[in-house]
Amino acid sequence: MIYLDNQATTPLDPCALEAMMPLWGAHYANAGSVTHQAGRDVAQMVDSAIAEIARSMGAAEDELVITSGATESNNLALMGVMHHPRQRRRKVVSLVTEHKAVLGPLERLRQQGFDVQLLPVQKQDSQLPGVVNWERLAQMVDDQTALVSIMLANNEIGSLQPVAQIAAICRQAGCYLHTDASQALGRLPVDVDELDVDLLSFSAHKFYGPKGVGGLYVRRRERAVRLQGQIVGGGQQHNLRSGTLNTAGIIGMQVALSNTLATMDQDQIRIGDLREQLYRRLREIPELVLNGPPLRPEVRLGGNLNCSFYPLEGQSLMLLMPDLAVSSGSACTSADPEPSHVLQAIGLTEDQARSSLRFGIGRFNTTQEIDQAADWLINAANKLRSF
């Protein structure tokens, strides 16, 4: 099998796996059990891992809430800000192209009576497809806005949003800025002060860490975020997220992140070259159209390629390539037969969206794999065309 679905998830870094094993073995104690040495030992391991994760994004250790992943982090950020008892503003501004892990909680907030505004993005025929419509954003964010939530990098078409510039608009309006950085952390430099964000979601399995663990950065310095915990119980993590910590997950997340960041710059150049190689080969397919921004690292997530093969159907192409793992639309919504909401937002028709495939190249892919994948795709397209 050739795995080109690194936007859905990444393979586990073997070093992260090794680092997690003792937490399931000898170091099984609860990090909250500070009444005995076994618990204190684990607490110390976990605390220093969290401090290291925080440091790597320019945050302080008491500014991270450990969660089960980006879906939970997004829920905590959005619900937590809007449900805070001292929150008087009622408006949340976001994008139509956000992940369902943002759109779902926003829909819930809308049902609860909040004013949820989803902004359109630039279309496929513009210079930067998928990027926020700047004028609409500036018009929409005002003194009634409590929160703006805009993802750093899109999981389907890789569009990068100008988050630091969006932050300036938020500062002027006196509202918080949340960004879902699930796809960005480990692929792009992420620093909470440079981005000037108040809340930032991330998930370990997007950077070669384990599944089921992630975090939310919550600004405490200067303009501290007023956030209401959504999972209540034993009061862990400053009451922002009760529940016994996923100790092995936290250690695995830290090791995976440190390793990813250590070689990120070289890896991203290599991954960019692999994407170029794949795209060059696929251009032999006459139907091929690039979806999303140009393949340049400053405007598009490295490793992400999304193409339409219209009128050839994406699902049919996939059926002809059983050993190639790619995705049609977003893997997180693959149970959902609807064509991608992101592709439709940049102006593709339903049929064009259904004819699209997403390729996600990662650190463990090789040039041989890219060549093989291209051969399979070209053959599949030829076969389908002749039916």
Task: Count the residues in the chain.
Answer: 387
Binding test (CB under 6 A) with ligand PLP, winner from 70, 95, 109, 121: 70
Task: Note whether 247 binds ligand PLP by CB under 6 A.
Answer: no
154/184 Cα distance (integer angstroms): 9
Query: Cβ of residue 317: shortest distance to ligand PLP, in angstroms?
Result: 22
- Pick between residue 153 and residue 255 the one whose CB is nearest to ligand PLP: 153
Using left for φ > 0, alpha for ψ between -120 and 50, and beta otherwise, residue 373 falls in alpha
Query: Cβ of residue 73: shortest distance to ligand PLP, in angstroms?
Result: 8
Of 50, 115, 61, nearest to 87 by C-alpha is: 115
315/327 Cα distance (integer angstroms): 9
Task: Note whether 182 binds ligand PLP by CB under 6 A.
Answer: yes
Task: Note whether 161 binds ligand PLP by CB under 6 A.
Answer: no
- Pick between residue 90 and residue 108 the one whose CB is nearest to ligand PLP: 108
Beta-sheet pairing, 91-95 with 145-149: parallel
- Find the distance separating the first CA and the last CA of the chain, reported in whole Å: 26
Segment near ligand PLP (CB under 6 A); pick from 45-53, 123-131, 175-183, 273-281: 175-183
329/343 Cα distance (integer angstroms): 8
Task: Note whether 214 binds ligand PLP by CB under 6 A.
Answer: yes
CA distances from 97 to 62, 180, 212, 307 (A): 31, 12, 24, 17
Task: Note whether 252 binds ligand PLP by CB under 6 A.
Answer: no
User: How many C-beta atoms surround the C-beta of residue 10 within 10 A?
Assistant: 23
- Pick between residue 320 and residue 332 the one whose CB is nearest to ligand PLP: 332
User: Binding string, 123-142, against ligand PLP, x = CB under 6 A?
Assistant: --------------------
| Annotation says 307 is catalytic | no
| DSSP code for 188 | B
Give the list of residues 6+ apart from residue 331 with CB closer than 8 angstroms, or none: 5, 7, 8, 9
Binding test (CB under 6 A) with ligand PLP, winner from 99, 187, 241, 354: 99
Query: Cβ of residue 69: shortest distance to ligand PLP, in angstroms?
Result: 3
| DSSP code for 5 | B
Closest residue to bound ligand PLP by CB:
69
For 158, half-sphere exposure in the C-beta direction (CA atoms, 13 angstrom radius) is 28
Task: Note whether 203 binds ligand PLP by CB under 6 A.
Answer: yes
Task: Note whether 155 binds ligand PLP by CB under 6 A.
Answer: yes
Structure tokens belonging to residue 200: 């930032």
CA distances from 383 to 298, 319, 358 (A): 36, 12, 20
Give SS3 for 179: strand
Task: Note whether 178 binds ligand PLP by CB under 6 A.
Answer: no
- Pick between residue 22 and residue 104 the one whose CB is nearest to ligand PLP: 104
Contact 183, 206 (CB under 8 A): yes
Place of tokens 């936007």: 7
Of 72, 103, 75, 109, nearest to 89 by C-alpha is: 109
User: Binding string, 268-287, against ligand PLP, x = CB under 6 A?
Assistant: --------------------
Query: Cβ of residue 79: shortest distance to ligand PLP, in angstroms?
Result: 15
Segment near ligand PLP (CB under 6 A); pick from 65-73, 116-124, 167-175, 353-361: 65-73
Site for ligand PLP in 342-381 (CB under 6 A): none
Binding test (CB under 6 A) with ligand PLP, winner from 96, 231, 332, 384: 332
Residues annotated as catalytic are 332
Instruction: Point out which residues bind ligand PLP (CB under 6 A).
Output: 69-71, 99, 101, 151, 155, 180, 182-183, 203, 214, 332
